[in-house]
Amino acid sequence: EPEVTQTPSHQVTQMGQEVILRCVPISNHLYFYWYRQILGQKVEFLVSFYNNEISEKSEIFDDQFSVERPDGSNFTLKIRSTKLEDSAMYFCASSDTPGIPKETQYFGPGTRLLVL
Amino acid sequence: KQEVTQIPAALSVPEGENLVLNCSFTDSAIYNLQWFRQDPGKGLTSLLLIQSSQREQTSGRLNASLDKSSGRSTLYIAASQPGDSATYLCAASGGYQKVTFGTGTKLQVIP
């Protein structure tokens, strides 16, 4: 069964460094998402992306964050200058039919980011 | 703004027991409601999706119901097994991509 993959599974970085989290969505999907989950807290929506542009973003997704689809298969989340509070599990998701009742977003296994 | 709440936050039951997890949401204008399973340190596994026009969905020992008018969904697990131990999340989709998650119910099934 097709699945969303994410790399790396774990990343440790120093505060102020840039990180890029990578995702390979399901191949025929056109809509992509990033979520994050701080330890012990809810999964939170960050951003959605379609047709090479951001469709919607949350208040969390500030200027330190950016997303890109650099080629036909990858979808990346970049954090420009990491802060301690960026430590979280980051989930990528994709779907093929957003905005209709039977839309299902398929989630990747996540990247655990630790900022020291 | 959609708020999703799950009760209880944690639940411990003996193996074989039937159980019900509860989810409530504040905005009834949802497209669908989805139940996920999350194992410690792992990603999200979709269990069931109920469309807004549906009342329930079943998959094996799992049954999820949806009552939009009251803003509630329940996940029923029959004949629980130790392998069911995980955190269960419900998530409401308000249409156009944004999914709002609940805080989860951590389930422990004791052999």
Best of A105, A111, A112 to substitute, by most chain B Cβ atoms within 10 angstroms, is: A105
Of B42, B52, B89, which has the smallest distance from its Cβ to A101's Cβ? Answer: B52
What is the structure's pLDDT at B95? 61
B-facing residues of A in 43-62 (CB < 8 A) are 43-45, 48, 55-56, 58
Nearest to A75 by CA among A38, A33, A42: A33
Contacts with B, A 10-39, CB within 8 Å: 31, 33, 35
Q: What is the C-alpha separation between A95 and A114, in angstroms, rounded?
A: 28
- Residue A100 confidence class, pLDDT cut points 50, 70, 90: low
CA-CA distance, B81 to B16, in Å (whole number)?
6
Which pLDDT score, from 0 to 100, does residue B93 have?
A: 84
Q: Which of B44, B101, B89 is nearest to A58 (CA)?
A: B101
- pLDDT score at B96: 58
Name the minimum distance, in Å, from the CA of B3 to any CA of chain A.
Answer: 11
Does A13 have pLDDT greater than 70?
yes
- Tokens at A66, concatenated: 């950016």
Q: Give B101's contacts in chain A (Cβ within 8 Å).
A: 35, 42-44
Q: Which residues in chain B touch residue A56, judged by CB atoms under 8 angstroms apart?
A: 96-98
Please tell me the predicted confidence (pLDDT) of residue B44.
Answer: 86
pLDDT of A110 higher than 70:
yes
pLDDT of A99 reads 56
| pLDDT tens for each residue of A78-89 | 999 999 999 999
The DSSP result for A29-95, as a single string, is: --EEEEEEE-TTS-EEEEEEEETTEEEEE-TT--TTEEEE--SSS-EEEEESS--GGG-EEEEEEEE
pLDDT at A113 over 90: yes
With a cut of 70, say whether residue B18 has pLDDT above it: yes
Give me the residue label for tokens 């959609």: B2
B102 contacts in chain A (CB < 8 Å): 42
Q: Do A31 and B104 touch (CB under 8 A)?
A: no
**Which pLDDT score, from 0 to 100, does residue B107 have?**
97
Helix (H) / strand (E) element for B33: namely strand B32-38
Interface touch B36/A107, C-beta < 8 Å? yes
pLDDT tens, position by position, A25-59? 998 888 899 999 998 889 999 999 988 999 889 88
Determine the pLDDT at residue B97.
Answer: 61
